[in-house]
Amino acid sequence: MRAIRLWGVVTLAVGAVLLTGPAPASAEFQLDLYVGGALTNNVDFSFSGMGGSGSTQGMDVSNALVFGGRIGYWFDALPWFGVAVDGFKFTPDIPSQTVNGSFAGAGAVSGQAQKLNLTIQAVSFELKARLPLLKDATYPQGRLQPYVLAGPAVFFADLSDTGNFVASGQSNSDTEVGVKAGAGVAFQIIPQIAVFGEYRFTHFNPSWSFTDSSVTPRASFNLSTNINTNQFVVGLSFRFPWPPRS
């Protein structure tokens, strides 16, 4: 269901980008497919429930595979300027580890935390700018194209517990708006196909809620954190005039 919702958002957003009005034939449509690595910074959880509140410091996060696809559009009147919708997924799980933190009224605490499985899907809405280099008649927008991008993103974050709460195996989801920014370079192999490498930074602030029946009365336990991720991806980019020439 979450995957259906993610790509439904992408489809609607692409329609909004491409159907805003008639486009000249020399405008450019772009389809990117990519894969890479996602390196998420250590996280500090804030928590509340079970009669108190507190925080953890510097919990390790696993590196993860990131993959996705992007649909973009470069304008004819401003060929250096474009818009895009990007959908991607990664799983920066939080492994079992010793946790250091603090609890209100008790001071510093330390204990063992069990693994938390974290799955993140996102849709970003991007403004893009490129610099055309190595221009000629075959590559009027430049065969080499450094570019930058930035924009808001909607993140769908599923967190599953493996033994920190009773009953074990609980999961909870959150949807939050965050940001994405990046830079990359594309090189056109032929006029219709380019290869590219890209760095992207993403940030958002999710929160989740669990219950614990090991205490009486049954208690809610709320977690929140910042998720900051550095992504490095490579991919293929397919370029076409839009609307297609007959």
With tokens 């991720």, the residue in question is 229
Note whether residue 68 is domain-resident. yes
Place of tokens 């977690």: 223
Q: What is the pTM of this model?
A: 0.84
CATH label of the domain that carries residue 36: 2.40.160.20
Taking the CA atoms of 172, 68, 61 and 183 in sequence, report the sign of the dihedral they define: negative
d(CA 18, CA 74): 11
In a domain, 187, yes or no: yes
Residue 56 lies in a domain: yes
What is the predicted pLDDT for the residue at 17?
43
**What is the spatial distance between Cα 179 and Cα 87, in angstroms, rounded to a whole number?**
13
Does some domain include residue 23? no
Q: In degrees to the nearest 10, what's the CA dihedral of 149, 31, 232, 136?
A: -70
pLDDT in tens, the chain (246 residues): 554 454 454 444 444 444 444 444 468 999 999 999 999 999 999 988 766 778 888 899 999 999 999 999 999 999 999 999 999 999 999 999 999 888 776 677 788 889 999 999 999 999 999 999 999 999 999 999 999 999 999 999 999 999 888 777 889 999 999 999 999 999 999 999 999 999 999 999 999 998 877 666 667 888 999 999 999 999 999 998 866 655
User: Is 115 contained in some domain?
Assistant: yes
Q: How far apart are CA 121 and CA 209, in angstroms?
A: 19
What pLDDT sits at residue 113? 87
- Domain assignment present for 102: yes
CB-count burial class (<10 Å; 0-12, 13-18, 19+) for 213:
exposed
Please tell me the distance from the alpha carbon of residue 161 to that of residue 45, in angstroms, as a whole number: 14
Q: Is residue 49 part of a domain?
A: yes
For residue 83, give both structure tokens. Answer: 């818009």
**Would 211 be classed as within a structural domain?**
yes
What are the phi and psi torsion angles at 5 (to 5°)?
Answer: -65, -40
Peptide bond into 243 cis (omega under 30): yes
Structure confidence at residue 220 (pLDDT): 81
Q: Check residue 175 and give its pLDDT.
A: 97
d(CA 75, CA 183): 19
State the residue range of the domain holding 219.
2-18+28-242
* Burial of residue 148 (number of CB atoms within 10 Å: 0-12, 13-18, 19+): middle
Number of domains in the chain: 1
Torsion of CA 96, 100, 102, 108, to 10 degrees: 140
